[in-house]
Structure 1
């Protein structure tokens, strides 16, 4: 009989178990992991460097990075946020650094530093870590008027007073929760890149530039399907845009995919975007600039890059505007310059499908947030059942925010468990 079983040997599961063991040293705790290795997502995150959190220390501003969960996380972030995460690791000898975009990584630049920290802490605090433990059922039982948990593992059963589910986006676990009376919001992909075949970008993979991207609402082109109930109006983002071999990626696209996860799924990932490659300009303002340049410049349009964008992108957009390589500024017509201004500020691209962002797959969906007490992360339906991490319907844009959700949930669930065990004991 365990005091606490944690199902899921990932970031949230380890964080919860460590905090319980630290606050209540004689608690019997085990982490159950279905795979042969723990913390696998931690290992691959941030290109193997582990983007631990983000240097956003204001709870209200931090919560704005969560397309699902913004309102619900505000309270928890006042209890435990990025600064607390930094403190946790530094107290254990793991220093973090802030990069220019606000992402935070271990100074070692290795996710193994984070993994070693968790494993050594679990070992020091007496937390049992059991790998190759695939859970095949969860049942709540009652003994002497107290609700407890019976967990089917392999050929046998394990029993506990408190159960924490930190299994991430696990359809099997969601089915178990549904059978127990919980509601699951159907999962759809988040954080994905856009597949685009277009002559303006096909030969320039690797180009990165600041851009503003807007999804063109479906009603504005093509047939509106009966399934399209969500409105894409106002669905936009900005930031670095990366041209890839298959289309577009980078923070501007990934943010858009997160905020638009449900809308774009309803569009079956077939939609159009409008890209402004020079966000500081609108079409008319850019045309005015070009007409001024036309007064003084004698060289070809192609060789005179008057804007701060990559040369190869400029060349492709000049060509797309119907301007020949040999056309000079004195020769170019106002209509051609208007076309170039439109390509630069209002270029429309057809998206046909998506690709997962590296191995860092994130889903929108999971346990309905209305069924969780966010002061303790305990189920409102089933006593002594707690949640942490992506199992709940919370997801974030890229940049360390999904991990911060795991740390915050793990910490608050641990507090909830400890308080409940102490009350029961007394």
Structure 2
């Protein structure tokens, strides 16, 4: 038996639900179904942002917002002019969910619980009569006489329009290649660096405002860095991993980084400052108190690495020791050996080639009545609510068009 719908959406995640709700709100006559392969829907929403769901980011200017997308910057400019973070806030407010802005610009439900977002979506789909069908893993897709036929392991579905919102699902990408679509091969994005180094071994939990560069590349990033049990994390590292997703994958995650622990301070200026400190604090021991905006523990570690012993007084520092210390502070070299996934933020760089999508409608340029929403396309962002914003925007544009 075939089940007939006007529109089938494959993927019961953020993009799938948002698209479905917006379609039926604009045209209640349409019969819409969401097919989800798992037993539960909206799983990624549930665990995102540490279970609080980082809905979007307080960046309200489309031309600024696109700068957070290593892949998709150019293509998203038009879409963001149609539906941006401000529109997201308004949409959720209309649906009974109030959002709040945190100090770093990330936006969460006031309830601090991702369940609020899930309940909002489930309530809306129920109210609008959208069929949410779980345990429906798509096995094959056909297109015949302007009708899409979708086969799962238990059912057959027919629909005039097919929307794929399956995120980074290799099986679906493979099916799309049969329809002539090119898939940019997926590589991980948003990961932390594995570093075994005596300088940071005893310092998990210590943070600093830094500039990080990857040797022999143009990759550079500024922001907070967090030392962890396995190496380094924090926004500065995650940004680097997103912008460098392909480059670092090609290096097999073995590379060298340079860290300026004093943000972007110049080595010569720091040397000068250290000479002044040598005069001012002549009788004090160097390692005891950090004269910069660094924790004392990190400072002490860098002092010891520079060949300066624990009890050494400022007055006794040699020229070489001063230079070594300036170098450790502004240009520390660390060897990265592998990566670790960042919390549950499993983001993939890769997906449907952006040249094959009409970003005014989110429709495939190669197949009529085939649409894409969310992360199935080769768009991804750094952490902070931007990946969700791409899901909302693509879903909204798609719904408007349909």
Q: TM-score, normalised by structure 1?
A: 0.93
Offset at residue 296 of structure 1 (A)? 1.4
Equivalent runs, 1:360-371 vs 2, <5 Å = 360-371=345-356
Instruction: Return the match for 1:256 from 240, 254, 257.
Output: 240
Q: Residue 358 of structure 1: CA displacement?
A: 1.0
Match of 2:150 in 1: 151
**What is the CA-CA distance between 1:156 and the residue it aligns to?**
3.1
Please state if 1:61 is matched with 2:54. no
Q: Which residue of 2 aligns with 1:180?
A: 179
User: What CA distance in whole angstroms lies between the structure 2 residues aligned with 1:300 and 1:52?
Assistant: 49
After TM superposition, the structure 1 = structure 2 runs for residues 328-407 of structure 1, keeping only pairs within 5 Å, are 328-407=313-392
Q: Secondary structure at the match of 1:390?
A: helix
Q: Which of 283, 293, 304 is matched with 2:277 structurally?
A: 293
Aligned to 1:171: 170
Q: Deviations over 1:323-376 (max 9, x none)?
A: 000100011112101111110110010000000111110010000000000000
Structure 2 residue aligned with 1:269: 253
**Contact 1:291-1:334 within 8 A present in 2 as well:** no
Could you say what secondary structure the match of 1:302 adopts?
coil
Distance between the aligned counterparts of 1:196 and 1:156, measured in 2? 49
Cα offset for 1:180?
1.2
Do the aligned partners of 2:192 and 2:237 also contact (CA within 8 Å) in 1?
yes
Determine the structure 1 residue equivalent to 2:99.
96
CA contact (8 A) 1:135 1:151 kept: yes
**Structure 1: segments with no counterpart, 5+ residues:** 218-231, 418-426
* Residues 53 and 85, structure 1, Cα contact 8 Å, conserved in 2: yes
Cα offsets for 1:51-75 (capped at 9, x unmatched): 0000000000000100000000000
CA shift, 1:280, in A, is 4.2
Per the alignment, residue 41 of structure 2 pairs with 38
Whole-angstrom distance in 1 between the partners of 2:73 and 2:296: 39
Partner of 1:160: 159
Cα distance in 2 for partners of 1:304, 1:51 equals 38
* Secondary structure in 1 matching 2:162: strand
1:177-225 Cα shifts (integer Å, max 9, x gaps): 00111000000000000000000111110111111100001xxxxxxxx
CA drift of 1:155 comes to 3.3
Matched, 1:245 2:229: yes
How many residues are treated as equivalent by the alignment? 398
Equivalent residues of 1:378, 1:416 under 8 A apart: no
In 2, distance between residues paired with 1:155 and 1:320? 63
Q: Residues of 2 paired with 1:241 and 1:132: CA distance?
A: 41
Is the counterpart of residue 326 in structure 1 residue 325 in structure 2?
Answer: no
Aligned partners of 1:359, 1:156: CA distance in 2, in Å?
Answer: 32
- The alpha-carbon deviation at position 282 of structure 1 amounts to 1.2
* Cross-structure match for 1:306: 291
Superposed displacement of residue 286, structure 1: 0.5
Paired residue secondary structure (1:64): helix
3-state DSSP class of the match of 2:168? coil
1:112 matches 2:99: no
Q: Which residue of 2 aligns with 1:52?
A: 55
SS of 1:211's equivalent in the other structure is: strand
1:128 equivalent among 111, 126, 131: 131
Q: State the alpha-carbon separation in 1 of the partners of residues 201 and 141 from structure 2.
A: 50
Paired residues of 1:97 and 1:105 also in contact (CA < 8 A): yes
- The CA distance in 1 between the partners of 2:324 and 2:340, in whole Å, is 31
Report how far residue 133 of structure 1 moved. 0.7
Residues in 1 aligned to 2:267 and 2:237: alpha-carbon distance in whole angstroms: 22
Cα distance in 1 for partners of 2:154, 2:129 equals: 25
Question: Larger deviation: 155-164 or 339-348?
Answer: 155-164
Are 1:24 and 2:15 counterparts? Answer: no
Structure 2 gaps, min length 5: none
Q: Contact 1:366/1:392 (CA < 8 Å) preserved in 2?
A: yes
Q: Aligned-pair RMSD on alpha carbons?
A: 0.7
Could you give the per-residue CA deviations for residues 268-312 of structure 1, whole angstroms, max 9, x where no partner exists? 000000001101411110010010111110210011310011111
Q: TM-score, normalised by structure 2?
A: 0.98
